[in-house]
Amino acid sequence: MGEKSQAQATLRAAANNDSVYFLIEVLDEKIASGDIATLLIAPVTTNNQLTNGARRFVVSHSGLVSTNGYNGGWVAGNPQANIRATYQGTIAQDSDTDTGYVVEMAIARSKLTIVSGKILVNFSITDTVSGEDAIFSTTSTNTAKWIEVSGL
């Protein structure tokens, strides 16, 4: 991920019997205080539309920024995840070169709607200079182009 700016990101997923884990790695030479990564998670549906089981996590170099559940639109909520972040660089200082940030997320399986061992994910990074770069539009309710995570 990262065609719109110098910032680049990778999303990785893993699971065990208790949780689903996500690792977000963002390479960013100029970490700004408003730079974020957004992870959207949704159950697989037959009509490729968001349902009440969808979750949105917005994170930054400092950790969790916000969480939302989906109920006909994104609503404030606490989808409950264990989130940790670290960064290498000087936030909002352009006189040096930063390395970027890493965010680890652990979400209990019981907090996700896993259908037939699968969930769908969408992912974006937002650089305050260049804007959002996403797998698929994060404002769309269509999940047809989201990435399937299977084996859960």
Whether 32 is in a domain gets the answer: yes
Instruction: Return the bridge partners of 16, or none.
Output: none
Which is nearest to 109 in space by CA: 41, 31, 60? Answer: 41
Whether 29 is in a domain gets the answer: yes
Distance CA 26, CA 8 (A): 6
Q: What is the pLDDT of residues 31-69, one digit of tens each?
A: 999 999 999 999 999 999 999 999 999 999 999 999 999
Provide the domain limits for residue 126: 8-137
Distance CA 127, CA 29 (A): 11
pLDDT in the model for residue 3: 74
Whether 118 is in a domain gets the answer: yes
Which amino acid appears at position 52 of this protein?
N
Q: For residue 28, what pLDDT band results from cuts at 50, 70 and 90?
A: very high
Q: 144: how many CB neighbours lie within 10 A of its CB?
A: 10
**CATH number reported for the structural domain that contains residue 35 in this entry:** 2.60.40.1190
In which element (H, E) is residue 134 found? Answer: strand 131-134
Whether 2 is in a domain gets the answer: no
Q: Is the pLDDT of residue 108 over 90?
A: yes
Q: Which pair of structure tokens corresponds to residue 37?
A: 């990564």
Q: Is the pLDDT of residue 79 over 80?
A: no
pTM: 0.93
Whether 46 is in a domain gets the answer: yes
pLDDT in the model for residue 5: 74
Q: Where are the alpha helices (DSSP H) in the chain?
A: none
CB-based contact 77:62 (threshold 8 Å): no
- The contacts found for 64-71 with CB under 8 angstroms, 24 or more apart, are 65/36, 70/42
Torsion angle (degrees, nearest 10) of CA 12, 19, 105, 119? 50
Distance CA 134, CA 147 (A): 12
Whether 143 is in a domain gets the answer: no
If one counts the domains in the chain, the total is: 1
Whether 110 is in a domain gets the answer: yes
Whether 12 is in a domain gets the answer: yes
